[in-house]
Amino acid sequence: MTDASGTGEDGTGGADRGAELAANLAEVRGRIAAACAAAGRPADAVTLIAVTKTRPASDVRLLAGLGLTDVAENRDQEAAPKAAATAGLPLTWHFVGQLQTNKVRSVASYADVVQSVDRPRLVTALSAAAERAGRTLGCLVQVALDGGEGRGGAAPGDVPALADLVAGAPGLRLGGVMAVAPLGADPAAAFERLAEIAARTRDDHPGAGTVSAGMSGDLEQAIACGATHVRVGTALLGGRRAIVR
Ligand SMILES: *Cc1c(COP(=O)(O)O)cnc(C)c1O
């Protein structure tokens, strides 16, 4: 059991960590609000997702206590036990990593949204797993803005067909699109490209308005280009320092 201060079973919780996370959360929320204001968008237009990879379940619990509603992980081996350890908290779990089909059954048991859908075979596997689990999984089509090498994602030209496939798959709900800005590229240009792909997806599927883009270092650019969800790790939880571009 864990006490209300968040002192974790792994010994990394406690009042100091809680204060640190509260300060980081306030700063990130401030950045989001400023970026929304600069873009002429309402302050609640953007959902903050905490990327808790490499961080203990006690951090997830502390963030939930601070009012955070959405968390993301990128490896099933780490996400599955963390989701189990924080079951019962009012959290939406996002899976944002490259996903092998042999992990799909596990991911479908705890994830609410899979943001890294990038190939037809994965759609088929997720659909079967969701049906088997009696769950509906939100899915975002991950777009490779770097031409498809490295970090996963579908080539932009393949996105419409993949979106259609998700939209027609039992047990799945098409939410929209997701991308990671390519390393070393201008994030604003990448996010503008994503915005065009998101608009096309929304034209084809009016309910699919989610645009998941922006991380610790580039959330302002993403919000300027219409991101509805930002995925923030280091600026919230520490680790390497946020790169301010
Ligand atoms: C780790 C990760 C993030 C968060 O990155 P930070 O730079 O730490 O904010 C966002 N999206 C994905 C897909 C990630 O793997």
- pLDDT at position 197, please? 98
Question: If DSSP codes are grouped into helix, strand and coil, which group holds residue 47?
Answer: strand
Cβ atoms within 10 Å, residue 166? 25
High-pLDDT (> 70) share of the chain, %: 90
Query: Is residue 2 included in any domain, yes or no?
Result: no
Query: Is residue 137 included in any domain, yes or no?
Result: yes
Per-residue confidence at 1, pLDDT binned at 50, 70, 90? very low
- pLDDT at position 4, please? 41
The two counts, helices (H) then strands (E), for the chain are: 9, 8
28 lines ligand 1 (CB under 6 A): no
240 pLDDT above the threshold of 80: no
216 lines ligand 1 (CB under 6 A): yes
55 lines ligand 1 (CB under 6 A): no
Measured CA to CA, the distance from residue 239 to residue 31 in angstroms comes to 19
CA of 4 to the centre of ligand 1 (A): 28
- Please give the backbone phi and psi of residue 88, each rounded to the nearest 5 degrees, phi first: 100, -20
51 lines ligand 1 (CB under 6 A): yes
159 pLDDT above the threshold of 60: yes
Q: Tell me the whole-structure pTM to 2 decimals.
A: 0.92
Query: Is residue 45 included in any domain, yes or no?
Result: yes
Domain count, the chain: 1
| Substitution site in 24, 59, 146, 231 for ligand 1 pocket (most atoms within 8 Å of beta carbon) | 231
Query: Is residue 229 included in any domain, yes or no?
Result: yes
For the segment 46-72, the average pLDDT, to the nearest whole number, is 97
Domain that holds residue 19: 15-237
For residue 95, the cross-strand partners are: 73, 114
Per-residue confidence at 235, pLDDT binned at 50, 70, 90? very high
35 lines ligand 1 (CB under 6 A): no
Query: Is residue 62 included in any domain, yes or no?
Result: yes
CA of 207 to the centre of ligand 1 (A): 25
Cβ atoms within 10 Å, residue 88? 6
β-strands 92-95, 172-178 pairing:
unpaired
Residue 148 sits in a domain of what CATH number?
Answer: 3.20.20.10
Average pLDDT, the chain: 92
Contacts of 71 (CB under 8 A, 6+ apart): 49, 50, 51, 52, 60, 63, 91, 92, 93, 94
- pLDDT at position 51, please? 98
Query: Is residue 38 included in any domain, yes or no?
Result: yes
Measured CA to CA, the distance from residue 158 to residue 119 in angstroms comes to 9
233 lines ligand 1 (CB under 6 A): yes
Per-residue confidence at 150, pLDDT binned at 50, 70, 90? low
Query: Is residue 245 included in any domain, yes or no?
Result: no
Query: Is residue 159 included in any domain, yes or no?
Result: yes
Q: Are 112 and 93 in contact (CB under 8 A)?
A: yes
